[in-house]
Amino acid sequence: MNSSSWLWRTIGISSVLATLLLLAGFLYAVKDVIAPASGNPWVSTPDGSLSNAAPTTSAKEYNIVSLGDSLAKGTGDDTGQGFVRRAVTELQKVQKLPVKLVNNLGVNGMTTKGLLPTLNEEGVQYVLRNANVILLSIGGNDLFQGAQNVQTGKALPTYKELSSEVEKASLRLKQIVDKIHEINPAAQLVYVGLYNPFNDLKEMRIPGNQAVAEWNLRASEILNTYENGRVVSTFDIFTGNTKKYLADDHFHPNDEGYQYIAERIVQGLR
Amino acid sequence: MNSILPLIKNETIKMMKKKRFYVVILVLIVLVPIFVYAQMKIAETNREKFNSDWRLAVRQAITDNQNSLQSARVPEEWKKYRIIYIQQMKYYLEHDVNPQEPGGVGFTRQFMDNAATLFIPLLIMAIASDIVSSERSSGTIKMLLTRPVRRWKVLLSKLIALLMFVSLIVVSAFVISYLISGLVFGYKGFNIPVFTGFKLNGSDVDLSGVHAVPQWAYILMQCGLIWFMSITVAMLAFMVSVLVRSTAASIVIMMAALIAGTILTNMASAWTSAKYLFMVNLDLTNYLAGTPAPIEGMTLGFSLAVLAIWAAVSLLISFTVFTKQDILN
Write the residue in A44, A100, A108 that is nearest to B67 by C-beta. A108
Residue A46 lies in a domain: no
Q: What percentage of chain A has pLDDT greater than the value 70? A: 91
- A36 and B214 within 8 Å at the Cβ level: the answer is no
Residue A48 lies in a domain: no
Contact B154, B6 (CB under 8 A): no
Residue A229 lies in a domain: yes
> Does residue A1 carry a pLDDT above 60?
no
A151 with A246, same domain?
Answer: yes
Q: Output the pLDDT for position A225.
A: 92
> Does residue A155 carry a pLDDT above 80?
no
Contact A66, A99 (CB under 8 A): no
Any idea which of A118-127, A237-246, B4-13, B266-275 has the lowest mean pLDDT? B266-275
A28 with A93, same domain?
Answer: no
- B220 and A28 within 8 Å at the Cβ level: the answer is yes
Q: Please tell me the distance in Å from A97's CA to the nearest CA on chain B.
A: 16
Q: Which chain B residue is nearest to residue A122, measuring alpha carbons? A: B94
Residue A51 lies in a domain: no
Q: Please tell me the distance in Å from B301's CA to the nearest CA on chain A.
A: 8
Q: Output the pLDDT for position A182.
A: 94
Any idea which of A109-118, B31-40, B137-146 has the lowest mean pLDDT? B137-146
A4 with A126, same domain?
Answer: no
Contact B116, B283 (CB under 8 A): yes
Q: How far is CA B235 from CA A72, B162, B163, in A?
A: 55, 9, 9
A32 with A71, same domain?
Answer: no
For residue A94, give the CATH number of its domain: 3.40.50.1110
Q: Output the pLDDT for position A24.
A: 95
* CB interface of A with B, residues 94-133, below 8 Å: 100, 102-109, 121-124, 126-127, 130
Question: To probe the interface with B, which of A60, A88, A103 has the most B CB atoms within 10 Å?
Answer: A103
Residue A50 lies in a domain: no
- A126 and B301 within 8 Å at the Cβ level: the answer is no
CB pairs under 8 A between A and B: 168
- B221 and A28 within 8 Å at the Cβ level: the answer is yes
A13 with A131, same domain?
Answer: no
Q: What is the pTM of this model?
A: 0.82
A173 with A145, same domain?
Answer: yes
User: Which H or E run includes A103?
Assistant: strand A99-106
> Does residue B70 carry a pLDDT above 70?
yes
Any idea which of A126-135, B7-16, B134-143, B266-275 has the lowest mean pLDDT? B266-275
How many independent structural domains does chain A possess?
Answer: 2
A91 with A13, same domain?
Answer: no
Q: What crossing angle do the helices spanning A2-34 and B215-243 adopt, rounded to 10°? A: 120
Summarised one tens digit per residue, pLDDT across range B270-323 is 777 888 988 889 989 988 888 877 787 788 999 999 999 999 999 999 999 998
A141 with A219, same domain?
Answer: yes
Contacts of B289 in chain A (CB under 8 A): none
- A44 and B212 within 8 Å at the Cβ level: the answer is yes
Contacts of A18 in chain B (CB under 8 A): 167-168, 170-171
Summarised one tens digit per residue, pLDDT across range A86-100 is 999 999 999 889 999
A35 with A144, same domain?
Answer: no
A107 with A217, same domain?
Answer: yes
How confident is residue A45, by pLDDT bands cut at 50, 70 and 90?
Answer: low
Between A59 and A194, where is the model more confident? A194
A34 with A75, same domain?
Answer: no
Summarised one tens digit per residue, pLDDT across range A51-62 is 777 787 777 889
Q: Please tell me the distance in Å from A77's CA to the nearest CA on chain B.
A: 15
Summarised one tens digit per residue, pLDDT across range A247-269 is 888 889 999 999 999 999 999 88
> Does residue A39 carry a pLDDT above 60?
no
Secondary structure percentages of chain A, helix, strand, coil, to 5: 55, 10, 35
What is the span of the domain harbouring residue A264?
58-268
Any idea which of A14-23, A130-139, A153-162, B211-220 has the lowest mean pLDDT? A153-162
- A108 and B60 within 8 Å at the Cβ level: the answer is no
How confident is residue B178, by pLDDT bands cut at 50, 70 and 90?
Answer: very high
Contacts of A56 in chain B (CB under 8 A): 51-53, 56
A156 with A95, same domain?
Answer: yes
- For residue B52, the 8-state DSSP code is T
Q: Is A94 exposed, middle or buried (0-12, 13-18, 19+ CB in 10 A)?
A: exposed
